[in-house]
Amino acid sequence: LIVTVAHCCKMKYSALAVRLNTFIQAVDKELWVTEVYVPATLVAIGNNEDGRDYAVLRAKLPAGTPTLKLGNEDLDEPGSVVASTADIGNIGVQYTVGYITLLHAVAARDFKKSWEGNIGARLGGGLGSSGSPLYSVDQKAVIGVIVGGAPAPYGDIITFAAPVSRLKKFLADSNVR
């Protein structure tokens, strides 16, 4: 199974292709990135308006394709180091490292209600980051799925990720195995 975000997948598509990159090698500091496209089918899709901005795809992956385990965002804390890979700005897959700024965002004025409870991180990103993993370096596991970003008070961007605990509930509620 491959997890991304619902706002990047539309039900109207009759066929999807997934571009895989070797995130695990990037985490190990060997920035060896390959791009492989594989056909995929949509198994379950949530609604980004209610905080379930997930899409689950099924694909037959090439032999030896590395996978990432799901962690627990509550085992990390503000200041914990996180990483991600994304095709930011459609200029090529980039590896970014940052840190968690908050674990459970609260909805405030001008804040997306659907992002309430999300993880905030200072992590390079932009258009093309949605659907990428938020990877806990300590846990060596995914703790969230990046859904977007918002300006921070000091001119920086806070990247927001839907927490993996919500993803696990979405998978259970959708009977995805």
Confidence of residue 139 (pLDDT cuts 50, 70, 90): very high
How much is the pTM?
A: 0.80
Distance (Å, whole) CA 15 – CA 13: 5
Distance (Å, whole) CA 70 – CA 147: 17
DSSP helix/strand/coil, 8: helix
| pLDDT score at 176 | 79
Residue showing tokens 């799925």: 145
Distance (Å, whole) CA 56 – CA 41: 9
The per-residue pLDDT for range 64-112, each reduced to its tens digit, is 777 888 999 999 999 999 998 877 766 767 788 899 998 887 755 555 5
Residue 53: what residue type? D
